[in-house]
Amino acid sequence: MKKLLFTLLLTPLFLTAQTEETTALKVEVKKQENTATEEITVKTTDTTKVVLVEKINNVEKAIEKQETKVVTESCISGNCKNGTGSMQYQTGIYEGTWQNGLRNGQGKYTWTNGDVYQGTWLNDNRHGYGEYVWHDGSKYKGNYSVGVRSGYGIYYYTNGNIYEGTWQNNLKHGIANLYFKESANIGGKYINNEYVSGTGINKENYQYSPVSSL
């Protein structure tokens, strides 16, 4: 009698645990299905899938890091007032030209996490042409305006895809081409980082993508 009572008491706990285990298994299978779908989507070239590719890749570390105030007032080397010198910041090191104590002209900033910007500066801001490389290997080559991507520029994704077109306030905006390994979507339109469906021409076996090296 005691064994029967003990069994009856344990049965709901067993069923609950079994249900939770089944639910967890379903969630894990769903995650795997979603992952597989994303991997397949990246390799697809039609217009509908281009939108999905862009949304997946928008998880990119697309916002360049900003520099914070100088830890020390003294230069590591050179002339950090008017000339060429290196300055230690809280987040990294700047090496390049200075004017009136501000970064002006050509310079390189290396962050402690491995990000690197090399290009033109104006009054302490990235301004003009520059190249920004993230520590994960993605990179941007193009124009800046007062610290943000603006105008023409090329963005290289870590999966090999390439965006070539115009930018506004750090976002893909305007007419652009999106290159895959062997195909491309030519003349697509982007508004505030979103691809506009129905635009662009898909080309198979397209070999004329921009060179990926800096």
Question: Any bridge partners for residue 178, and if so which?
Answer: 163, 185
Give the pLDDT of residue 68.
Answer: 62
Q: In b/e form, how buried is each residue of 39-74, taking b as 16+ CB within 10 angstroms?
A: eebbeebeeebbbbbbebbeebebebbebeeeeeee
pLDDT at res. 207: 84
Q: Which domains does the chain have, with CATH numbers?
A: 53-65+113-203 (2.20.110.10)
- What's the confidence (pLDDT) of residue 76? 92
Per-residue pLDDT of the chain (214 residues; tens, 9 = 90+): 444 444 434 444 434 434 443 333 333 333 333 333 233 223 333 333 444 344 434 444 557 777 665 555 568 999 999 999 999 998 999 999 999 999 999 999 999 999 999 999 999 999 999 999 999 999 999 999 999 999 999 999 999 999 999 999 999 999 999 999 889 999 999 999 999 988 999 999 888 888 765 5
- pTM to 2 decimal places: 0.68
Cα(161)–Cα(32) distance, rounded to whole angstroms?
23
Res 31: pLDDT: 36
Paired with 98 in beta bridges are: 83, 103
Residues in CB range of 182: below 8 A, 6 or more apart: 204, 205, 206, 207
pLDDT at 94: 96
